[in-house]
Structure 1
Amino acid sequence: MSKKIVLAVGFDQRESIAYHVFCQSIIEKASIPVQFLPLAENTLNEYKEVHTDGSNKFIYSRFLTPYLMDFSGWAIFADGDMVCEVDIAELWALRDEKMAVQVVKHHYQTKAHKKYLGNKNENYPRKNWSSLILWNCSHPANKVLTPEFIQNQPGSYLHRFSWLEDAAIGELPPEWNWLAIEYPENPNAQLIHYTLGTPCFKDYANQSMAKAWHDSYSRVNEGFD
């Protein structure tokens, strides 16, 4: 087993509490050390965001993960609006050296045309595939993912993993990226993804599967009341 797990997490200051709650949910259940890599825009000195679309600040920086890992080893990328319900080492154990990436291959039509902060929520091919990525950073096909390359590609190309052959995109069980509200409640969900809105926003505070997020939030604040 690896000595540590590297976990790149999307960070957006507008919902910074979501990042900390997610990290809390990881740490308290992990059986091996986890090295967190927050993808905060101000820290990515070699990458300048030039895309003008997107609902969060890490929508494209997630594709920098292999570059930030020096194209070596493995890493996980996860959106910050998640909660982990099990040991993250269980996901880490699913690594397949034959694959360049492994993702949950969602096939759904959204129930909501708007999401948090009034952002548009449109349907498109491979929607939410890139919100949880098990990255084989050493895979030769991922070596194209330099800052310049990412800056020059449209979102559709990146989020559909168009630089890869389909055979290099491995599949993870859906419980590893379970979409709250979009999917039915699932007590067996391993990573709950609040894709329409983290329960830190009042409009989503009491929506489906929000309790898991609030439970983790309460442990972040434990002892500070």
Structure 2
Amino acid sequence: MTMNNTNDLSEKKPFRIFIGYDAREDLAYKVCHHSITKRSSIPVEIIPIVQQDLRKKGLYWRETGQLESTEFSFSRFLTPHLSDYQGWAMFIDCDFLYLADIKELTDLINDEYAIMCVQNDYTPKETSKMDGAVQTVYPRKNWSSMVLYNCGHPKNKTLTPEVVNTQTGAFLHRFQWLEDEDIGSIPFVWNFLEGHNSVVENDPTTQPKAVHYTRGGPWFDACKDCEFADLWLNELEEYNKENKKEGDSAN
């Protein structure tokens, strides 16, 4: 397939990346942010989606439901609105660790789609996550955890604050404002689900480019020994060292 990639990157504008922020996973957000910026060969603009800030701005007002496992369960769908319905932007959960240059991902962008994502076939065995949140099961689970949005696509103008605040979880998380042909596919290694996806020996196409600790990551005590924990802890150590250097130089 020929890629029709005429997004903001061609104009040298920073690629917008919205990361879902949850106060309980502040460290996960910081490490995710660090893992992207240190490897990116293109300019990126990283914006946290903070529910409290969105409420103050009048963009988010829906009541918190019992099945919401994060503070950004629904606010994530404001990504096109927060981008003024222009260009391409990405939303990701904060529990990602990037291991590859984000440019490799943006090179996959195809303007014919309204969104692009990893179309995982994922049914969790666990009934709860490591932080005690309920582990829900539904079609297209985890598809919305990493989405490239063609914010200027006419169908994405459906995602107004009113719709994001009033529509059902099924409508939003299953992308029911779109037809199947509006959804482009990205290789699973960009949303490599820890504990679900596997690396095949001698097959580089199965090596994760972004690990998603969807069951809970090493920032939770119960998950210190999860798969790829060492990679996340190494990134945390590097993040802490760089922060310490910046702090020392400022004094």
Q: Report the TM-score range of the alignment, normalised by the length of the smaller protein.
A: over 0.9
AA of the residue aligned to 2:121:
H
1:48 matched residue in structure 2: 61
Query: Which residue does 2:221 correspond to in 1?
Result: 202
Query: Deviation of residue 167 (structure 1)?
Result: 0.4
**Runs of 4+ displaced beyond 6 Å:** none
Partners in 1 of 2:63 and 2:222 — Cα distance? 30
Q: Between 135-144 and 113-122, report the one with greater CA deviation.
A: 113-122
TM-score by length of 1: 0.96
Conservation of the 8 A alpha-carbon contact between 2:189 and 2:209 = yes
Pair member with larger Rg: 2
* Worse-matched range after superposition: 133-142 or 204-213: 204-213
User: Which whole-Å CA distance do the structure 1 matches of 2:136 and 2:23 have between them?
Assistant: 23
Amino acid at match of 1:163: W
1:166-202 Cα deviation digits (max 9, x unpaired): 1001110000100001223577100100001021001
Deviation at 1:51, TM superposition (A): 4.2
Distance 1:31 1:108 in 2: 31
Equivalent residue for 2:108?
94
1:5 corresponding residue in structure 2: 15
Structure 1 segment 49-128 matched on structure 2, within 5 A: 49-52=62-65, 53-128=67-142
**How many residues matched?**
225
TM-score (norm: length of structure 2): 0.86
**Are 1:185 and 1:208, in contact at CA under 8 Å, matched by a contact in 2?**
no
For residues 47 and 82 of structure 1, the distance between their equivalents in structure 2, rounded to whole angstroms, comes to: 24
Higher helix share: 2
Query: C-alpha distance in 1, partners of 2:227/2:199?
Result: 7
Question: How is 1:15-54 mapped onto 2 (pairs within 5 angstroms)?
Answer: 15-44=25-54, 45=57, 46-52=59-65, 53-54=67-68
Partner of 1:136: 150
Identity %: 40
| Matched position secondary structure for 1:77 | strand
How far apart, CA to CA, are the structure 1 residues paired with 2:162 and 2:64? 12
Residues 1:158 and 2:182 are matched in the alignment: no
CA RMSD between the two structures: 1.5
Mapped contact 1:51–1:151 kept (Cα < 8 A): no
